[in-house]
């Protein structure tokens, strides 16, 4: 196993690595600076798009016209050719202290993303599903900081966490209706070093990978919730993970250059870098696209 800096862009709050299996390009975002990045598998040809608000996550569209992005004030469409950003729906017009955060696409093309309290204190957030016809459904409530949505390989178990709960949750997921029910604790998160559960992905073997933000570790959980493997990273503020590359065997890891609140720790010169981990002997799953 080897860990390398793939792109040193010093993202203020790097998040959401997303591998496009069709074009063989890697996308990631800077949540605080409102920017979407794209690069080749070896970190070249870096391109960026600006969006008008803080961004929590993105999903590529099946129509090839761009992406759906969860911005501070709702779901938007981003056109890669023109750079135009268009509002789809704001599910929380009455929650000015919230913003939309992490999200991913299920096997039927829905974009599932949650909201968070910007001070990461109040349980004001919720979990939403944006259907392919742009209808928004609320799946869960009472969340401080939505993070880590992902699914088991068969799509029937949905994983999610409220970052500061100290738990990763599993739900029964109905692919036909998009309903998430029977929430239970999948794994307890080791917060003894000040870390918390951030972005997650599931590999081809059905194991869940989670970035322990502020603790500088990646944890691989077995399907029964037990800890299978821990990887120490060169920075403390790792934020999210995703497998990519032509063989889906490279683990991409985002990080932040500046903590969102003053109580969180800083990092060294590698802060905000996009990392790539090679030779793990593990492959990921192709990420789904939004749309029918």
| Cβ neighbourhood burial of 62 (10 Å; 0-12, 13-18, 19+) | middle
Residue 28 makes CB contacts below 8 A (sequence gap 6+) with 11, 14, 15, 16, 17, 18, 36, 37, 252, 254, 274
Q: Active-site residue 8, yes or no?
A: no
d(CA 174, CA 267): 41
99 is in an annotated binding site: yes
Residue with tokens 């203020």: 12
Name the nearest CA neighbour of 43 among 55, 58, 30, 28.
28
147 is in an annotated binding site: yes
CA distances from 257 to 195, 260, 265, 274, 275 (A): 16, 10, 10, 11, 13
168-192 burial, b for 16+ CB within 10 Å, e for fewer?
A: bbbbebeeeebebeeeeebbebbbe
101 is in an annotated binding site: yes
**Catalytic annotation, pick one of 198, 203, 215, 267:** 198
15 is in an annotated binding site: yes
Binding annotation for substrate: 99, 101
Binding annotation: 15, 99, 101, 147, 198
Active site amino acids: 198
């Amino acid at each position: 196993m080897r860990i390398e800096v793939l792109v040193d862009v010093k993202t203020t709050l790097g998040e959401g690595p997303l591998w496009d299996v069709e074009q063989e390009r890697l996308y990631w975002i800077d949540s605080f600076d409102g920017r979407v990045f794209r690069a080749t598998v070896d970190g070249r040809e870096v391109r960026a798009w600006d969006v008008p608000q803080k961004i929590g996550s993105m999903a590529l569209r099946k129509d090839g016209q761009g992406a759906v992005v969860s911005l501070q004030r709702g779901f938007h469409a981003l056109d890669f050719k023109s750079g135009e950003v268009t509002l789809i729906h704001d599910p929380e017009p009455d929650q000015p202290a919230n913003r939309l955060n992490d999200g991913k696409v299920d096997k039927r093309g829905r974009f599932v993303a949650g909201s968070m309290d910007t001070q990461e204190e109040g349980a004001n957030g919720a979990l939403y599903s944006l259907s392919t016809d742009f209808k928004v459904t609320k799946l869960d409530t009472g969340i401080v900081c939505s993070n880590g949505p992902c699914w088991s390989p068969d799509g029937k178990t949905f994983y999610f966490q409220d970052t500061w709960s100290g738990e990763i949750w599993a739900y029964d997921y109905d692919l036909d209706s998009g309903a998430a029910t029977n929430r239970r604790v999948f794994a307890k998160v080791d917060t003894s070093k000040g870390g918390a559960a951030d972005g997650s992905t599931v590999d081809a073997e059905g194991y869940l990978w989670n970035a322990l933000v502020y603790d500088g570790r990646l944890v691989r959980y077995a399907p029964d919730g037990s800890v299978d493997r821990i990887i120490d990273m060169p920075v403390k503020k790792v934020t999210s993970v995703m497998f990519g590359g032509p063989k889906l065997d490279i683990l991409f890891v985002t990080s932040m250059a500046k903590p969102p609140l003053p109580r969180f720790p800083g990092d060294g010169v590698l802060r905000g870098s996009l990392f790539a981990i090679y030779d793990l002997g593990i492959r990921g799953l192709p990420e789904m696209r939004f749309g029918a």
